[in-house]
Structure 1
Amino acid sequence: MLTELAARARARLDPAHWDFFAGGAGDERTLRANEEAFQRLRLLPRVLRATGPRDLRTTLFGTELSAPLLVAPTAFHRLAHPDGELATARGAAAAGTVLVVSMAATTPVEDIAAAGGPLWFQLYPQPDLEFTAAVVRRAERAGCRALVVTVDSPVFGRRERDRRNGFTDLPAGLVCEHLRDGTGRVRDIVMDADLGWERIDWLRGVTGLPIVLKGLLHPADALLAVEHGVSAVLVSNHGGRQLDGAVATVDALPAVVKAVGGQVPVLLDGGIRCGADILAALALGAGAVLVGRPVLWGLAAAGADGVRQVLDLLREDLDRALALAGARRPADLTGDLVAARC
């Protein structure tokens, strides 16, 4: 089903826009590794566990989700569908989950919030602290329930597909709506190579929202994140779009979980394509997973209905995987269910 939606999306999209969504950095080794790492995992299910009906509900920061599955922040949804992030928000709400709104969204967060459903907001901290604080306040006023701070982007990754296609600007009429300043001018996103832990401390003084630190792979950074008071960490390599050759996220997950030691939730994105992938990530210690590209495939193929289809399919596939693994709830999953890598 997901591969069918991907094919439909590719057929409908401008080839340069498909490449923007589908591509990664450099030779795309990490892009491929995210999926390949899940494919190497082997599960060791239990039997005769009398699971009965499964209960996939999960609560994060006071919000109940239909499953431990969220929509990852991705940019420029109006390249995929005319309704853009509005359609994504409607699909996520219908599926009973959270949409993480990208700072590079092509629809204002206020309009996305009006579409219904719980939202988090993804932030690239900007060198201009006053502007950064204004963006955070805007997300708060719109009702976003958490701040997802991306920290793996001191510079842009080298994205060869975009270079070949000459894709450098959005089409006329589309802008990054959250980069408008007080005059209405649209700024460029600045990747800040001077970003350090002191900026996380500063953000904690700016907002009372839970802060989820996105882009961690090294366990030492996960431990530092806890020490700096974040509310959750998100194991992510930016979908393979930043440092090519970086470790696959599911391979990095166990060491991060061990370093955090249960002090805050550990989330994961990158390479999730089926319920067994979600089950493996949860068994290895993730509290929930986020999906990005499959949601964009659904959006491009069928708008809000396509987004809902993707999320419903993954939730139903996880439910089936839980039953087959001998578990009733995500919390029942333990590391011994992941037997080996081949």
Structure 2
Amino acid sequence: MQPPKDYGGAGRAIQGQIYSLGAVGHKPKVPTDPLALAYAASNKMTPEAYWYVAGSAGMQRTAEANVTAFERYQIVPHMLRDVRERSTATTVLGTHVPAPVMFAPIGVLEMAHPQAEVAVAQAAASLGVPMVLSTQGSRPMEETAASLGPAPMWYQLYWSNNNDLMRSLVTRAEAAGAQAIVVTLDTHTIGWRTRDLDLGFLPFAKGMGLAQYFSDPVFLELVKQRVENPPPKDASIPAPRPTLAALGTLWSQASHYPGNTFSNLLSGYPRAAVETFLDVFPCSGIKWTDLALLKSITKLPIILKGIQTSSDAELALRYGVDGIVVSNHGGRQVDGAIASVDALEVVARELEGRIPIIFDSGIRSGADVFKALALGASAVFVGRPWLYGLALDGAEGAKAVMERIIAELDITMALAGVKNLSEINQRCIRRAGAASGAKL
């Protein structure tokens, strides 16, 4: 069955299906309420897994602001408009999408479901909406791409401090069918994530979320070099006492690394691979001028993720990128940062439509999508909500969450009096507290 090329008018049918099943005693396995959805996922996932996803930097202030800031923007419905025929379809950077939503890049999906990216790819394929693959994936990008079929795929890149590795990852993504490269700018070092710190949990130390690296020939050669020429040990750092947790970590590393788990335990390669990853992941020295290197590697559209200021948006234009993602990484990097939707308003006003803007960080509903579009976004990334659905019901759960967000967007459009995405603009919203005499 082919997914629809437009979800205009589908909201009522999706809503009606839930009510019809409810009439015969079947309530949704995956909650529609965002808070209930997160709570259900917290009961399904381990504490380490849940807080790795749900937790954010510091005192969680940015993550909270991302959600509550939407309250500052109010939808203004217009009446007596013929909205029987609606369209949610659009084109973003040459990619046709039946609705302006995409599966955001999220790493270490194995913590939510054993099928990880493959399950999400199945959900994206059934809906026909794009999936953005993470560099920190739990499955090799080629395997995920095969499950996506013709559904659009973008690749999210963490810029390694090893340019040969970066080149290899981008080249593989292009060969696998990626239609754009999304460069994450705001995670050149991991933020101060208190939930993870208190649990002492970093999934990469266990070999989780490293499938793109463990399947990459350049990375594997770096591991081989490390094993054959190990770096000198720092004598000032005492060796930790063996514990059951340490044995569990070694087993996890060995089972994630290519090859036989028992042979891996004896080889030393899995531990060397994790150490190699920790060496090559951060690249805090990347500069605007370095974008020329990426352009020399690929002809795919380049999108910069993590833009929060109008000055950086102008620089993105100057350096010839094809689009930007206004994002603060879901609040996971800087505690007390500007809410992403507030940044969107400023950046969109500065760019005036000169390049596409994707919005990320804080989307929890179709009404949120509507507001982001009204503020100038061409489309949005949705993150945590579908991951919670994935944890609860695999591919079907991830699909259900995204399908319902699209359904609510369609219904919100109808009730706000707009027929298509081009009609969603600043006249459809106002800031809370705006002068009551202002013309709407």
TM over 0.5, yes or no? yes
Deviation sequence 1:197-217 (CA, Å, 0-9, x none): 012121111110101100000
- Equivalents in 2 of 1:150, 1:129: separation in Å? 15
* Equivalent of residue 176 in structure 1, options 199, 210, 235: 210
The answer for the alignment partner of 2:184 in structure 1 is 150
* Equivalent of residue 85 in structure 1, options 92, 101, 117: 117
User: How far apart are 1:5 and its partner, in Å?
Assistant: 2.9
User: How far apart are 1:175 and its partner, in Å?
Assistant: 4.4
- Equivalents in 2 of 1:195, 1:321: separation in Å? 41
Deviation sequence 1:210-266 (CA, Å, 0-9, x none): 011000000010011011111111000000011111111110112211222211101
Deviation sequence 1:51-79 (CA, Å, 0-9, x none): 21211011123322120000111110011
- SS of equivalent to 1:115: helix
User: How far apart are 1:82 and its partner, in Å?
Assistant: 0.6
Whichever residue aligns with residue 42 of structure 1, its letter is: Q
The answer for the alignment partner of 1:33 in structure 2 is 65
Higher helix share: 2
- Equivalents in 2 of 1:8, 1:171: separation in Å? 27
- Equivalents in 2 of 1:284, 1:137: separation in Å? 35
In the alignment, is residue 289 of structure 1 matched against residue 391 of structure 2?
no
Deviation sequence 1:255-311 (CA, Å, 0-9, x none): 211222211101101111111111111011100011110011010010000111011
* Equivalent of residue 55 in structure 1, options 69, 80, 87: 87
In the alignment, is residue 337 of structure 1 matched against residue 431 of structure 2?
no
Give yes or no for contact 2:108–2:203 (8 Å, CA) kept in 1: no
The answer for the alignment partner of 1:127 in structure 2 is 161
Give yes or no for contact 2:109–2:209 (8 Å, CA) kept in 1: no
- Equivalents in 2 of 1:172, 1:27: separation in Å? 26
User: How far apart are 1:193 and its partner, in Å?
Assistant: 1.5
* Equivalent of residue 217 in structure 1, options 308, 317, 320: 308
Deviation sequence 1:121-166 (CA, Å, 0-9, x none): 0001112111100110010111111000011123211000001111
Say how many residue pairs are matched: 342
Structure 1, 16-25 or 111-120: larger mean CA deviation: 111-120
- Equivalents in 2 of 1:288, 1:301: separation in Å? 26
- Equivalents in 2 of 1:123, 1:171: separation in Å? 20
In the alignment, is residue 247 of structure 1 matched against residue 338 of structure 2?
yes
Whichever residue aligns with residue 336 of structure 2, its letter is: G
* Residue segments in structure 1 that go unaligned for 5+ positions in a row: none
The answer for the alignment partner of 1:313 in structure 2 is 404
- SS of equivalent to 1:328: coil
Structure 1, 144-153 or 6-15: larger mean CA deviation: 6-15
The answer for the alignment partner of 2:320 in structure 1 is 229
- Equivalents in 1 of 2:205, 2:189: separation in Å? 23
TM-score w.r.t. the length of structure 1 is: 0.96
- SS of equivalent to 1:122: strand
In the alignment, is residue 21 of structure 1 matched against residue 53 of structure 2?
yes
User: How far apart are 1:11 and its partner, in Å?
Assistant: 1.1
The answer for the alignment partner of 1:109 in structure 2 is 141
- Equivalents in 2 of 1:131, 1:174: separation in Å? 19
% same residue: 39
In the alignment, is residue 66 of structure 1 matched against residue 98 of structure 2?
yes
The answer for the alignment partner of 1:265 in structure 2 is 356
- Equivalents in 1 of 2:71, 2:118: separation in Å? 33
- Equivalents in 2 of 1:248, 1:60: separation in Å? 24
- Equivalents in 2 of 1:321, 1:14: separation in Å? 35
The answer for the alignment partner of 2:201 in structure 1 is 167
* Equivalent of residue 279 in structure 1, options 340, 360, 370: 370
Give yes or no for contact 2:107–2:209 (8 Å, CA) kept in 1: no
- Equivalents in 1 of 2:283, 2:386: separation in Å? 28
TM-score w.r.t. the length of structure 2 is: 0.75
User: How far apart are 1:8 and its partner, in Å?
Assistant: 2.4
User: How far apart are 1:40 and its partner, in Å?
Assistant: 2.7
Give yes or no for contact 2:93–2:356 (8 Å, CA) kept in 1: no
- SS of equivalent to 2:143: helix
The answer for the alignment partner of 2:44 in structure 1 is 12
- Equivalents in 2 of 1:196, 1:240: separation in Å? 23
Deviation sequence 1:65-100 (CA, Å, 0-9, x none): 120000111110011001000001111111220110
Give yes or no for contact 2:203–2:209 (8 Å, CA) kept in 1: no
Whichever residue aligns with residue 281 of structure 1, its letter is: A
* Residue segments in structure 2 that go unaligned for 5+ positions in a row: 1-31, 224-272, 434-440
Deviation sequence 1:108-127 (CA, Å, 0-9, x none): 00000010222100001112
